Amino acid sequence: MGILSSMYTGVSGLSGQGEAISIYGDNIANANTNGFKTSRPEFQDVIAKSLKGLLGGNQIGRGVRLSGVTPIYSQGSIIQTESSTDLAITGDGFFMLNGADGKSFTRNGSFHFDKDGKLVNPDGYHVMGFQADENGKITSKMGEISVDKTVIDAKRTSEVKMNMNLDLRADKSLVFDPLHPDQSSHFATGVTVYDSAGTAHTSTLYFNKSGDGEWTWRAMIKGEETTNGTKGELVECGRGILRFDTDGRLREQSIEKSSFNFNKGALPDQAISFTFGDDKSHGGAGIQVTQYGTGSETYKTSQDGFTAGSLAGMTFTDDGVLTAIYTNGENVNLSQIALAKFESPEGLFKMGQNRFRESRLSGQATIGSPQTGGRGRLSSKTIEASTTDIASEFINLIQAQRNFQANSKVISTSDEMLTDVMNIKRS
């Protein structure tokens, strides 16, 4: 009977619009949930009766059903925070988490370090990333991101690099005297070096023009800082030759001596390589150390040693690299955030707690580093806000409510018609 079927049609409408109200209500409820993506209901009509078989047309619908719930993966607003471990993704990537229930994914970058030094989300799931080797180089090895080096060991100086100019006009007849080095050298400059215990020492380099296009350098240390010297004297620990071409560019460099014997239990006979730019004999450009007709001057000095230091802070770069900052001024890369990308993120399975899991519809995750493969860029001290638009959700809610009321009228009208049918017998 058509009247009875119309009631079932109205019921399907009530059910469908009730589900829609639940979806819109969930969007509104998560308006302040970090990384939340809104969803929308997808409806389909129901065909249950055809008046003329398979001829087409003349078909009576039997209502509506909820065919699916589609997440809308639009970019959420980026909100500034004060925590250096808060991360936001601008792009299509997902953070990877590891916990008791296995691997999962999230867009919520509200992270912190737990008591074990591991980076976790608010529920204690570990954030995954690419590990760095002992030299701070990021590798392809996956693991939980953690800070396990709260103290960095001292490192002795093994190389000193210098960028400078030596005056072409210097008088090559000047002879170096170790007892009066300042008066018997054409140019002097200092550099801090570290012994094996991380103790800093100042080494003074004295330069003398020993021939046309040729300079001799000597690295001197105060006698009281060495095991083979006395207080007040300078001990020669390093010596070498620099040779320049007629254009004033470094042609060749050599080291004749390098043996630093620091006191107080440091490693004896410490070899330090002094590098004065790229010489042409090794295919270099030969422009870092020059011999021009201008005053001798040091432009830049660097060395690879340092004293021991403790952890002073941490920061994330835009490519997701976690860098530890130590009190001795050293910065060490520890790991890099890994991001996952899916061919169909709409097919991910919601697990609650702002987490997702792979499914057949989503496909397998493609793992990589930020700013590669469309995974997006990371920003530190930021959080991605929910994509819920309260105004739009209220409009959707009102529309669903009106549709619900309209379908209830279908049922009440069908009920009145059934009452009229029942009254036929009474009359």
So what's the pLDDT on residue 369? 93
SS3 28: helix
So what's the pLDDT on residue 279? 47
So what's the pLDDT on residue 50? 67
- The most distant pair of C-alpha atoms in the chain lies apart, rounded to whole Å, by 138
Q: Which residues of the chain have pLDDT under 70?
A: 1-2, 4, 49-57, 278-287, 425-427
Tens digit of each residue's pLDDT (9 = 90 or more) over 306-365: 999 998 888 898 889 999 999 988 889 999 999 999 999 999 999 999 999 999 999 999
The residues near 53 (Cβ < 8 Å, ≥ 6 apart) are none
So what's the pLDDT on residue 417? 77
282-285 own/partner pairs: CB under 8 Å, 24+ apart: 284/250
DSSP conformation letters of 167-191:
-TT--TTPPP-TTSTTTS-SEEEEE
Tens digit of each residue's pLDDT (9 = 90 or more) over 59-72: 777 888 888 899 99
Q: What whole-number distance in Å separates Cα of residue 334 and Cα of residue 139? A: 10
So what's the pLDDT on residue 23? 93
- The overall pTM is greater than 0.95: no
SS3 273: strand
So what's the pLDDT on residue 13? 85
Domain residue ranges of the chain, discontinuous segments joined by +: 2-74+386-426, 78-152+311-384, 159-303
So what's the pLDDT on residue 284? 47
The helix, strand and coil proportions of the chain, stated in percent and rounded to the nearest 5, come to 15, 45, 40
Tens digit of each residue's pLDDT (9 = 90 or more) over 173-190: 899 998 899 999 999 999
CA 389 to chain centre: 29
- What fold does the segment set 159-303 form as a domain? Tick-borne Encephalitis virus Glycoprotein; domain 1 (2.60.98)
